[in-house]
């Protein structure tokens, strides 16, 4: 089996390093320097025993996804797989055998806290919230927002960048109707959301909200899932998992190492690509996650910009 990693940003380098740790035979390409025709020829020559990790900017993924799939490769596509509903439809028109061997990069499904949330299932959820925020300037050393794909009006913005929370909300609470998407933009970056709030509801009495931003001074990543008999609260910054019922209150600290989440998903992807069974039953296999891929694209397309805020972005 041969693995190809396309994309030389930080996430592309992480995936290439992890594949090597897992013993894979890999070739790593920069998107800007790639000879795509040669790479596609090499993939076809593998006769179905090839897998491609697509870690390019979001706005150049679609053609690459379709061409690599046509060459017979299993695909690991960084999230989101697309930001337009029409593009999601094109991806889901791929043969089912490709979709079943491919994944989206929703590695938070491997986090021990969400594994515990799914195990200690909350029944009859009527309210939930998922929140993530952090000053984007603190994400990486020497980070300049304007030089990053996140500042691009086509494919950038916080909703797409931090869409893990949308995936987790759908996984934990189930699909619901997207009611509204309210976004704030920066005066210097038109149509790029630096903060977005999404509201969902369904006819069974479920309401949940997802809030995300690039501007909170200190990292926030927390949530609450509230049912008629049980409440779960989590805080990923402090690794806390809190379970509350009428009779009891229990708090646990569930430590984790961030790269292990990427390693675990990559291992499962290798299992799929090589014809073996994945370990995690919640693996973000493409044929199983069309609903969340659709809602991410729909949310991006229906953002309502309600104001402008001159945050510390340059």
Task: Report all structural domains of the chain as residue ranges with CATH numbers, in order of start.
Answer: 2-107+262-285 (3.40.50.720), 110-256+295-308 (3.30.360.10)
Structure tokens at 43: 């993939």
State pTM to two decimals. Answer: 0.96
Q: In what order do the strands lie in the sheet with 125-133?
A: 249-253, 240-244, 231-235, 220-227, 125-133, 207-213, 189-201, 177-186, 304-308
Structure tokens at 52: 């491609």
User: Could you list the pLDDT tens digit for every one of the 314 residues in the chain?
Assistant: 999 999 999 999 999 999 999 999 999 999 999 999 999 999 999 999 999 999 999 999 999 999 999 999 999 999 999 999 999 999 999 999 999 999 999 999 999 999 999 999 999 999 999 999 999 988 877 788 888 888 999 999 999 999 999 999 999 999 999 999 999 999 999 999 999 999 999 999 999 999 999 999 999 999 999 999 999 999 999 999 999 999 999 999 999 999 999 999 999 999 999 999 999 999 999 999 999 999 999 999 999 999 999 998 88
The maximal CA–CA distance of the chain, rounded, in angstroms, is: 64
Q: How far, in Å, CA of 254 to CA of 229, rounded?
A: 23
């Amino acid at each position: 089996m041969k693995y190809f990693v396309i994309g030389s940003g930080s996430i592309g380098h992480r995936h290439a390093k992890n594949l090597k740790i897992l013993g894979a035979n890999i070739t790593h390409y920069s998107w800007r320097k790639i000879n795509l025709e040669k790479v596609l020829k090499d993939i076809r020559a593998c006769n179905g025993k090839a897998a491609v990790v697509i870690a390019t900017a979001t706005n150049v993924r679609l053609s690459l996804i379709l061409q690599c799939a046509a060459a017979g490769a299993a695909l690991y596509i960084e999230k989101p797989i697309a930001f337009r509903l029409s593009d999601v439809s094109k991806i889901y028109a791929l043969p089912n055998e490709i979709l079943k061997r491919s994944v989206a990069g929703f590695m938070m499904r491997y986090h021990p806290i969400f594994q515990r949330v799914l195990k200690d299932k909350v029944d009859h959820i009527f309210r939930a919230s998922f929140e993530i925020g952090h000053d984007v300037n603190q994400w990486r050393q020497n980070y300049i927002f304007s030089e990053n794909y996140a500042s691009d009006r086509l494919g950038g913005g916080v909703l797409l960048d931090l869409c893990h929370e949308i995936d987790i909300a759908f996984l934990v609470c189930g699909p619901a109707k997207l009611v509204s998407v309210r976004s704030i933009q920066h005066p210097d970056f038109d149509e790029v959301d630096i903060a977005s709030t999404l509201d969902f509801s369904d006819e069974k009495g479920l309401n949940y909200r997802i809030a995300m931003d690039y501007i909170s001074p200190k990292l926030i990543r927390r949530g609450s899932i509230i049912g008629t008999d049980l409440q779960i609260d989590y805080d990923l910054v402090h690794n806390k998992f809190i379970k509350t019922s009428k009779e009891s209150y229990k708090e646990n600290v569930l430590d984790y190492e961030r790269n292990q989440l990427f390693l675990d998903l990559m291992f499962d992807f290798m299992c799929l690509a090589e014809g073996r069974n994945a370990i995690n039953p919640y693996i973000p296999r493409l044929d199983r996650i069309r609903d969340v891929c659709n809602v991410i694209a729909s949310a991006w397309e229906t953002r309502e910009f309600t104001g402008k805020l001159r945050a510390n972005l340059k």
